[in-house]
Amino acid sequence: MLDFKEIIAEKISKITQLDINELKNYIEIPPNKDMGDYSFPCFKLAKTLRKAPQIIAEELKSQLSVDENIEKIEIVNGYLNFYINRISMTRSVLEEFEKKQELFGSNDSGDGKTVLVEFSSPNIAKPFHIGHLRTTVIGAALNNIYKYLGYNTVRLNHLGDYGTQFGKMIEGYKKWGNEYNLDENPIEQLMDIYVRINELCKEDENVLDACRNNFKMLEEGDSYCVELWNKFKDLSLKEFCKTYDLLGIEFDSLNGEAFYSDKMQEVIDILNTHGVLVESEGAKIVDLEDKKLGVCMIEKSNGSTTYATRDLAAILYRARTYNFDKCLYVVAYEQNLHFKQVFEVAKNLPIPEKCKNGLEHVSYGMIRLSTGKMSTREGTVVKVNELLQEAIDRVLKVIKEKDPNMENKEEEAKKIGIGAVIYNNLCSTIIKDQVFDWDTALNFNGETGPYIQYVYVRTKSVLEKAGYLPKFEEVNINILQDDASQSVINSLYNFESVLMNVVQKNDPSFLSRYLIELAQNYSNFYNENKIIDDNKDIQNARVYLTYATGKVLKIGAGLLGIEMPNRM
Ligand code: ARG
């Protein structure tokens, strides 16, 4: 595909002798089409060239010439606006699409680089809440998109399976295990045991001691304690897997915190040797006050290790195992400080510089429900499986009312319901808090997953109606020169750069918003143009554009984890 930004940058570089890439980075997309397709802000060169932007613009313009790609150049307030030749743009996009088809938008920019995406990471014996749903959805999307751009990716689930609470769980189970049937709703039951034992600990110091002792025995590998811990872990994982199955998500590694329990001493020794570990009130810490990051606790005064130390051990292990270029932590913003501290301390680890520089916290905002309806007794924890199931049920109900003859209703309802929830998690910049509201998420006409699916299904029915797919050679590009067709072409052209933006910012919402724009542009094209037409020339071109749009909607949604229904 022609890179128009590059073409423009090259032209300007020839005149100014400035670096093409630098110039390319300055090029903007104007807020509206009347101002052209690309815009070069001349003030960026004012300092280097020691001239006023308006003068630079005039001088550049007088030396730039239009050609088969650039049809017009205009000066507006010190900006040079470039109008791309529509034929050239259309041909470039459709040729590329014809060549790449299912792989349109992909590239090999990530070749040879390894990205670890750590996401989801729920805690054993605790509910999988909607915060975990958000990291799961964001992480899976990031993983897919990196992969599509040629990176070698590894999906890590850093399970919370370690900590003193397991000593308590074991004690509670020893006492009351026979009262519970853990095969049914295991997480609720385990939570119940946990609440009960906590109450008892408050009343009775001896019970608390027993719990501590259990944890110690667990760490030392006592077979009974380990067996119970494994049981809790298996039961919890089984529950979590129900969610992962619904979302269609898999992991390459489920090494949780406990996996690092025998790998922490090395970290402590390294920090000691580096002279950064200091004693403070019996605990061992790394003082990060000079970086305004407080202190990072490495070992508590009672000798037990910490969450941060396990993360440091994980970095060491991951660098050795994967020699990664990037390691992304998709974790809510409450842990901002934690990751800043851990990444700072990790500078002391004997790992390649590229690994140290590749550590990145992909911080995301909270998700809240607009109604309290699905809350459990505590009033805050929402069970994700119930939420997903409710989404499916709501869609199924609508289908039964509106389209009772639809085939595979359950299957289609699942794709739409889950798609709606996934999209809702990704619809705006991930760092922002997000409200989950049923009517908004399931609105077929809003900026939603179902809307994208709906437009996709429309492209499919257009193709069915046409009954054939025109050969690329039969497509007359001149037919697609109207504004509505061009908006679709433009969107298709931008697909790859949107994906590149996602990995640059680690925010899949660039893609979610893009898909809405593409769907809207297609709807507009559909409304303004007769696709099935007596004139075969017209029909071929429009059917082909419909085909390409459907494909890109499907590829893009697939990258976000959203499947396309067959009918809607
Ligand atoms: N289990 C933690 C939680 O639910 C998230 C773990 C994040 N990852 C990490 N490497 N610390 O809050």
Cβ of 251 less than 6 Å from ligand 1: no
Cβ of 361 less than 6 Å from ligand 1: no
Q: What is the pLDDT of residues 250-260, one digit of tens each?
A: 999 999 999 99
CB 344 within 8 A of CB 296: yes
Between these two residues, 516 and 186, which has the higher pLDDT value? 516
Structure tokens at 518: 């593409």
Instruction: Name residue 266's amino acid.
Output: E
Between CA 319 and CA 351 the distance in angstroms is 6
Q: What topology does CATH give the domain 384-560? A: Isoleucyl-tRNA Synthetase; Domain 1 (1.10.730)
pLDDT at 233 over 50: yes
Ligand 1 atom closest to Cα of residue 334: 12
Between CA 306 and CA 285 the distance in angstroms is 11
Q: In 3-state terms, what secondary structure has residue 510?
A: helix
Ligand 1 atom closest to Cα of residue 311: 10
Cβ of 453 less than 6 Å from ligand 1: no
Q: What are phi and psi of 191, to 5 degrees?
A: -60, -40
Q: Whose CA is nearest to atom 5 of ligand 1?
A: 121
pLDDT at 273 over 70: yes
Q: What's the distance, Cα to Cα, between the start and end of the chain in Å?
A: 33
Cβ of 131 less than 6 Å from ligand 1: no
Kindly report the average pLDDT of the chain as a whole number.
94
Q: What is the DSSP letter of 565?
A: P
Q: Whose CA is nearest to atom 12 of ligand 1?
A: 122
Q: Whose CA is nearest to atom 1 of ligand 1?
A: 160
pLDDT at 366 over 60: yes
Ligand 1 atom closest to Cα of residue 131: 4
Cβ of 123 less than 6 Å from ligand 1: yes
CA neighbor of 318 nearest in space, from 338, 342, 336, 294: 342
Mutate to test the pocket of ligand 1, among 156, 324, 335, 359 (most ligand atoms within 8 A of CB): 335
CB 179 within 8 A of CB 141: no
pLDDT at 378: 47
CB 8 within 8 A of CB 82: yes
Between CA 299 and CA 282 the distance in angstroms is 9
Cβ of 318 less than 6 Å from ligand 1: no
Centre of ligand 1 from the C-alpha of residue 337, in Å:
13
Centre of ligand 1 from the C-alpha of residue 471, in Å:
51
Q: In 3-state terms, what secondary structure has residue 43?
A: helix
CA dist 285 to 22, 260, 317, 472, 500, Å? Answer: 44, 19, 21, 66, 40
Cβ of 358 less than 6 Å from ligand 1: no
Structure tokens at 225: 């304690």
Structure tokens at 287: 């003082």
Hey, where are the domains in the chain? 4-84, 114-263+305-369, 384-560
Which secondary-structure segment (H or E) carries 39?
strand 38-41
Angle, CA 456 vertex, CA 370 and CA 406 arms, to 5°: 80
CB 503 within 8 A of CB 149: yes
DSSP-derived pairing of the beta strands 277-280 and 283-287: antiparallel
Ligand 1 atom closest to Cα of residue 132: 4
Mutate to test the pocket of ligand 1, among 117, 121, 267 (most ligand atoms within 8 A of CB): 121
Cβ of 121 less than 6 Å from ligand 1: yes
CA neighbor of 83 nearest in space, from 549, 485, 486, 525: 486
- The rounded radius of gyration (Å) of the Cα atoms in the chain is 28
Q: Whose CA is nearest to atom 8 of ligand 1?
A: 158
CA neighbor of 361 nearest in space, from 383, 332, 389: 332
Q: What is the pLDDT of residues 194-207, one digit of tens each?
A: 999 999 999 999 99
Question: What angle, 0 to 180 degrees and rounded to 10, lies between the N-to-C axes of helices 86-100 and 536-560?
Answer: 60
What are the E-state strand segments in 365-407? 367-369
Ligand 1 atom closest to Cα of residue 159: 1
Between CA 51 and CA 48 the distance in angstroms is 8
Q: Whose CA is nearest to atom 3 of ligand 1?
A: 122
Centre of ligand 1 from the C-alpha of residue 486, in Å:
45
CA neighbor of 420 nearest in space, from 389, 400, 398, 443: 443
Q: What is the pLDDT of residues 299-335, one digit of tens each?
A: 998 888 899 999 999 999 999 999 999 999 999 999 9
Q: What's the mean pLDDT in 359-367? A: 95
Q: What are phi and psi of 420, to 5 degrees?
A: -65, -45
CA neighbor of 225 nearest in space, from 261, 265, 278: 261
Q: Which CATH number fits domain 114-263+305-369: 3.30.450.20, 3.30.70.270, 3.40.50.620, 1.10.3720.10?
A: 3.40.50.620
Between CA 252 and CA 318 the distance in angstroms is 13
pLDDT at 377 over 50: no
Residues forming a β-bridge with 566 = none
Cβ of 329 less than 6 Å from ligand 1: yes
Between CA 168 and CA 195 the distance in angstroms is 10
Q: What is the pLDDT of residues 124-153, one digit of tens each?
A: 988 898 889 999 999 999 999 999 999 999
Positive/negative CA dihedral, 459, 390, 237, 159: positive
Q: What are phi and psi of 423, to 5 degrees?
A: -60, -40
Centre of ligand 1 from the C-alpha of residue 191, in Å:
19
Of the listed ranges 226-235, 298-307, 372-381, 553-562, the one predicted with least confidence: 372-381
Cβ of 423 less than 6 Å from ligand 1: no
Is residue 369 exposed (0-12), middle (13-18) or buried (19+ Cβ within 10 Å)? middle
- Contacts of residue 491, defined as CB under 8 A and 6 or more positions apart, other chains included, come to 514, 517, 518, 521
Between CA 117 and CA 251 the distance in angstroms is 10
Q: Whose CA is nearest to atom 6 of ligand 1?
A: 121
What are the E-state strand segments in 77-128? 79-84, 114-118
Instruction: Please count the other Cβ atoms lying within 10 Å of the Cβ belonging to residue 378.
Output: 9
Between CA 120 and CA 323 the distance in angstroms is 22
Structure tokens at 305: 């290790």
State the DSSP string of 424-445.
HHHSS-TTS-EEE-HHHHH-TT
Q: What's the mean pLDDT in 546-553? A: 98
Ligand 1 atom closest to Cα of residue 339: 11
pLDDT at 382 over 80: no
Centre of ligand 1 from the C-alpha of residue 138, in Å:
15
Residues of the chain with pLDDT > 90: what percent? 88
CA neighbor of 335 nearest in space, from 140, 160, 541: 160
Between CA 413 and CA 400 the distance in angstroms is 10
Cβ of 158 less than 6 Å from ligand 1: yes
Between CA 4 and CA 214 the distance in angstroms is 65
Q: Classify domain 4-84 by CATH number.
A: 3.30.1360.70
Ligand 1 atom closest to Cα of residue 338: 11
Centre of ligand 1 from the C-alpha of residue 255, in Å:
12
pLDDT tier at 371 (50, 70, 90 boundaries)? low
Mutate to test the pocket of ligand 1, among 331, 338, 340, 381 (most ligand atoms within 8 A of CB): 331
Q: What is the pLDDT of residues 56-98, one digit of tens each?
A: 999 999 999 999 999 999 999 999 999 999 999 999 999 999 9
Q: How far is CA 254 from the centre of its chain?
A: 19
CA neighbor of 456 nearest in space, from 516, 374, 529: 516
CA dist 150 to 106, 147, 260, 503, Å? Answer: 8, 5, 30, 12
Q: What is the DSSP letter of 182?
A: T
CA dist 429 to 8, 169, 510, 551, Å? Answer: 30, 38, 8, 25
CA neighbor of 136 nearest in space, from 387, 320, 341, 466: 387
pLDDT tier at 381 (50, 70, 90 boundaries)? low
